[in-house]
Amino acid sequence: MNLDVSPSDVSDITEPHPANDPASDERKERARIKKLVAPLGWKLIGRETAEIRIVREFRFGNRTIVVRGRVTVDMPSEPTREAGEAAVAPLVDPTVGRFVHAIERAAAKILTAPDDVEKKHVFESASFFTAIEDARRGIVRIYQDLENKRIDERVEADLGLRFYIEGFTHASRTFEYFVGPTNSGKTHAAIELLREAESGAYLAPLRLLALEVHERLNELGVPTSLVTGEERVLLPDSQHVSSTVEMVDLKREIDVAVVDEAQMLQDEQRGWAWTLAIAAVPAKHVVLCGSDDGLHAARRLATRLGVTLTERRFERKNPLHVVDALPLTELRAGDAVVAFSRNAVVELQGQISRNGRSTAAIYGSLSPAVRRREAERFRSGEAAILVATDAIGLGLNLPIRRLIFAAVEKYDGTAMRALTPPEIRQIAGRAGRYGIHEEGQVTAIDPRAVPLIRESLARFDPPPTEPPLWISPTDEHLRRLAAIIGTTRVSRLMQFFQTRVLRDEDASVRIADLTDTIEVAIALEQSDRFLELPLAVRNTYARAPVTTRGNSLGVLARWGDRHASEGRVEGTELLTGLVARDRLLLFEDRSRLATLYLWLAQRFPDVYVNSAAIVRVRERTDDDIHDALLEHGSKARPERRGPTPFRRKGPPKFDKRRLKK
């Protein structure tokens, strides 16, 4: 192969001379320009584009804001600072104008007084436009924080919530705590004190318990009125009243007040009602009945009130034993099975009835009348087995011989969790009613749960940290706060209380969980006419006993709108026929709505004018619920025949009816 090449060929393949290379000239020119713009803080992008760094300084009151960043523009013909400013001005000046206007508008809208803080704030980013947006958001937050701080100072000075408890102190009061487990006779002793007093009040955790004490005192010859959320039975010349704790009368002076289940002071949802009742009831002698679990909270509350708390201890009158796990097939008359949901109760009813045992059922969504009827069926022996939720743990007097936990965990509204030792003790203590059974027995269906029950009953450990006392804002607090923050929306006022008041300063006092109240208020405030009602009326609606699930909240919102627009609510939703796949669920919903209507009628009798008709609706509905419960298992059913032992080969046939609804 011939590799010889001619001189001309060599010249064709060699590199061109640098002096004649356009790319080299371009690089030199770029290097020259970079050297010129470097002192200006510019950055070259491509051949004809530059990022020009600019700084803008603003003065708002005593506050200085500095914004730094780069703006991309066409490269000026002359790389000077003046040329750069001229190039960015068409892009930057409109943004700066909008920024100044936004800050001035935010200050006027957020601040109730001029910003008097002297401080410098620097916002810097790669892009000037990003930096100025960060500055806008940052200054708005600064104004909000400044105004919030001012509001907090006014709240502390004007609202008086930090002295909520101390503000109820009454002179010449004595506190006595009757402490002991269930079946120890402490409530009986307290009612005897109440019976001997010239005037008094019994405050119960449940309407059903208030009704029991109302009937008991009247049978003992002590005229006693009944006051609950949805009914009032006012007897002439009565100096005694039995009521739910939320309905405590804070105006009438009495000799003795009995506050039952005082350990509820520590309950995040309802504890505020016990705090208010104990702190504010105008009684000369206040008797608290509760377990050891509530004693610590009662002591702290008494200390804050400046009242001496004495203790009187009661011991259980008959023993309580933990026994081996028990299957449902071995239940006997007088047993109670405890579950933690309505569905679980109804399902257990069916299982027990298939074993030939009649059952009664008690759970939270039942109306008080049906719960009373079911409790009476169990007391009389008409129903052999009681199936209930932990609602039976709050003072209901039932002749339970043996209590069986179907589960030792419950859904608390957020997640499934294990029962706490105080919860287990409170429920288990219902076994072995004194005077009927010589001893009480407690166990579980699942053998793995028995050790937890045994350990919970065997020892009492004080809480590792002092739980807070729970309080809730009153109508007066809302009125004063509305004047401070400039809104009368109950949802906004409640949100302020929940998130801003008493956050860190006083760890021993906390605002109760207002989540459901806020959700109810928001639903009601969707109607513009509802907002025309007075603040106190709207606050009453927001605290109505309505579930936030299902259609009840929508019905309440319609009633609130009619209250505002027409001044009359007839409850037509309850007077017309409804259809649902689950008859029991339908009846429960109707009963809850009837109770809600009657609750509102107690407070707005001139608006809710159909009370008599709704009472009849609830009575008929309670009968329907009772009949539905009988169908679900309150009557003993013959045992179902088991599946045939013979089956053709192959996989079982798919049955879509077995799918969960």
Write out 367-401 in H/E/C secondary structure.
CHHHHHHHHHHHHHCCCCEEEECHHHHCCCCCCEC
**C-beta atoms surrounding 516 within 10 Å:** 16
DSSP codes joined into one string, 346-361:
HHHHHHHHHTT--EEE
**By percentage, how much of the chain surpasses pLDDT 70?**
83
* Residue of higher predicted confidence among 655 and 566: 566
Of the three residues 283, 313, 343, the one that is the final residue of a domain is 313
* Residue 176 three-state SS: strand
Reading phi first (left if > 0) and then psi (alpha if -120 to 50, else beta), residue 551 is in alpha
**Same-domain pairing of 484 and 521:** yes
* Burial class for 239, CB neighbours closer than 10 Å (0-12, 13-18, 19+): middle
Residue 418 bridge partners (DSSP) = 409
With beta carbons less than 8 A apart as the criterion, state whether 536 and 475 touch: yes
Domain count, the chain: 4
**Same-domain pairing of 229 and 100:** no
Q: What is the identity of the amino acid at 473?
A: P
> What is the average pLDDT value for the chain, to the nearest integer?
83
Angle between helices 475-485 and 535-542 (to 10 degrees): 120
Taking alpha carbons only, the member of 488, 486, 493 closest to residue 517 is 493
With beta carbons less than 8 A apart as the criterion, state whether 488 and 496 touch: no
* Residue 2 three-state SS: coil
**Same-domain pairing of 434 and 504:** no
Q: Is residue 14 part of a domain?
A: no
Q: Is residue 149 part of a domain?
A: yes
300-326 mean pLDDT: 91
**Starting from the edge strand earliest in sequence, which strands make up the sheet with 63-74, in order?**
43-45, 49-60, 63-74, 119-127
**Same-domain pairing of 447 and 481:** no
- Span 145-164, pLDDT tens digits: 888 788 777 776 666 666 67
Question: Could you tell me the residue range of the domain that residue 62 belongs to?
Answer: 28-159
Q: How far apart are CA 372 and CA 622, in angstroms?
A: 11
pLDDT surpasses 70 at 642: no
Give me the helices (H) in 576-630, please.
583-603, 611-629
Residue 118 — φ and ψ, nearest 5°?
A: -100, 110
DSSP codes joined into one string, 36-81:
HHGGGT-EEETTTEEEEEEEEEEEETTEEEEEEEEEEEEPPSS--H
* Residue 187 three-state SS: helix
Q: How far apart are CA 357 and CA 410, in angstroms?
A: 26
Q: Is residue 200 part of a domain?
A: yes
3-state helix, strand, coil in the chain (%, to 5): 50, 20, 35
pLDDT at 223: 96
Reading phi first (left if > 0) and then psi (alpha if -120 to 50, else beta), residue 550 is in left
pLDDT at 350: 87
**Same-domain pairing of 150 and 63:** yes
pLDDT at 242: 96
- Span 357-382, pLDDT tens digits: 999 988 877 777 888 888 899 999 99
pLDDT surpasses 70 at 408: yes
Q: Is residue 653 part of a domain?
A: no
**Same-domain pairing of 363 and 492:** no
**Same-domain pairing of 242 and 343:** no
**Same-domain pairing of 324 and 400:** yes
pLDDT at 23: 61
- Token output for 426: 């409170």
Q: Is residue 530 part of a domain?
A: yes
Contacts of 161 (CB under 8 A, 6+ apart): 155, 471, 473, 477, 501, 502
* Residue of higher predicted confidence among 37 and 405: 405
Residue 344 — φ and ψ, nearest 5°?
A: -65, -40
Taking alpha carbons only, the member of 175, 413, 403 closest to residue 278 is 175
Strand runs labelled E in 94-239: 119-127, 174-179, 200-204, 224-227, 232-233
pLDDT surpasses 70 at 653: no
At 436, the pLDDT band (50, 70, 90 cuts) reads confident
CATH number for 405? 3.40.50.300
pLDDT surpasses 70 at 613: yes
Q: How far is CA 555 from CA 270, 526, 582, 595, in A?
A: 24, 13, 20, 13
Least confident of 60-64, 460-464, 486-490: 460-464
β-pairing, 43-45 vs 49-60, is: antiparallel
Q: What is the identity of the amino acid at 523?
A: A
* Burial class for 505, CB neighbours closer than 10 Å (0-12, 13-18, 19+): exposed
Of the three residues 406, 423, 458, the one that is the final residue of a domain is 458
Write out 265-283 in H/E/C secondary structure.
HHCCCCHHHHHHHHHHCCE
pLDDT surpasses 60 at 645: no
* Residue of higher predicted confidence among 607 and 638: 607
**Same-domain pairing of 326 and 422:** yes
Residue labelled with tokens 């713009």:
37
Q: Is residue 8 part of a domain?
A: no
- Span 538-597, pLDDT tens digits: 999 999 999 887 788 999 999 999 999 999 999 888 876 655 556 777 888 888 899 899
**Same-domain pairing of 416 and 480:** no
With beta carbons less than 8 A apart as the criterion, state whether 329 and 450 touch: no
pLDDT at 281: 93
- Token output for 529: 């006419």
**Same-domain pairing of 64 and 37:** yes
Sign of CA dihedral 278, 472, 557, 593: negative
Q: Is residue 641 part of a domain?
A: no
Would the pTM count as exceeding 0.75? Answer: no
**Same-domain pairing of 252 and 155:** no
- Span 186-224, pLDDT tens digits: 999 999 999 999 999 999 998 888 998 999 999 999 999
Of the three residues 159, 184, 206, the one that is the final residue of a domain is 159
Contacts of 598 (CB under 8 A, 6+ apart): 230, 231, 611, 614, 615, 618
601-610 mean pLDDT: 94
Report the b/e string of 283-301 with b at 16+ CB within 10 A. bbbbbbbbbebbbbbbebb
Q: Is residue 523 part of a domain?
A: yes
Write out 288-310 in H/E/C secondary structure.
EEECHHHHHHHHHHHHHHCCCEE
Cα atoms found within 13 Å of the Cα of residue 604, Cβ hemisphere only: 22
